[in-house]
A = this chain, B = another copy of it.
Amino acid sequence: MTIKLYELAAAEGDRRFSPFCWRIRMALAHKGLDAEHLPVRFTEKDIIAFSNQGRVPVLVDGDRTVVDSWQIANYLDETYPDKPSLLGDAASRSLTLFVKHWDESVLPPLLFPLIILDIFKNIHEKDREYFRSTREAKLGKTLEEFADRDQAEALEAFRKALTPLRNTLQDTPYLAGDRPAFADYILLGRFQIARCMSPVILLEADDPIYGWRDRMLDAFGGLARHVPAYDL
């Protein structure tokens, strides 16, 4: 039975932009596992109600339902140990968890001011009120106020925060060494939400991260490249 992956979709059903869903889309390709990719919009939580929670990605593999991208990556490694590992051994898995927490705590507050209005523009019309009200409640300000920053300054702050990644990629082609693994998919997801939803140029072409992202976009036959996205 084919694996099913429920992913967040924009106005166009095939514009998938959740960084967490991208982690798993890449992870499934890494494992060589076929999957059916099903769109879910913010206000279509009924589609994933069977998972007893409201967030994507949701993976359904036979009679198993797994939620949360980190849990799904662990599930895939445990269930398909003969396929290439996503997380590696105990040390590598734990260090990948550090990358995950770095991504999730450091990057969003610097990235979202740059792209949040583009996200708003690209999501489905029926999702806009939900998106605006939930985000504005969290931010304590309107989307427009949150995005009202000097673009050049905001970009510089985002790029500066990428220093540890940049310095690492000066010495190694992938965060996980000679071949990409889940740590790389975590960070690709962060760049992919931007690329799918916004024309903002996040990286300069001479940035080692640019070269890495390019290799990631080429991986698995261009899986992350050949999707509805801004051509960067």
Contact = CB atoms under 8 A, between A and B. Distances in A.
A177 B102 contact: no
Most buried by B among A97, A106, A171: A97
Interface in A63-119: 88-99, 101-102, 104-106
A147 to B, nearest CB: 23
A177 B105 CA distance: 20
A150 B102 CA distance: 26
B99 A98 contact: yes
B92 A163 contact: no
A121 B48 CA distance: 61
A168 interface: yes
A167 to B, nearest CB: 4
Q: Sorted from nearest, which 9 A-B pairs have the closest CB atoms?
A: A95-B95, A90-B177, A101-B167, A94-B177, A102-B164, A101-B164, A105-B163, A92-B92, A91-B176
A196 interface: no
A106 B161 CA distance: 8
Contacts of A165: 98, 101
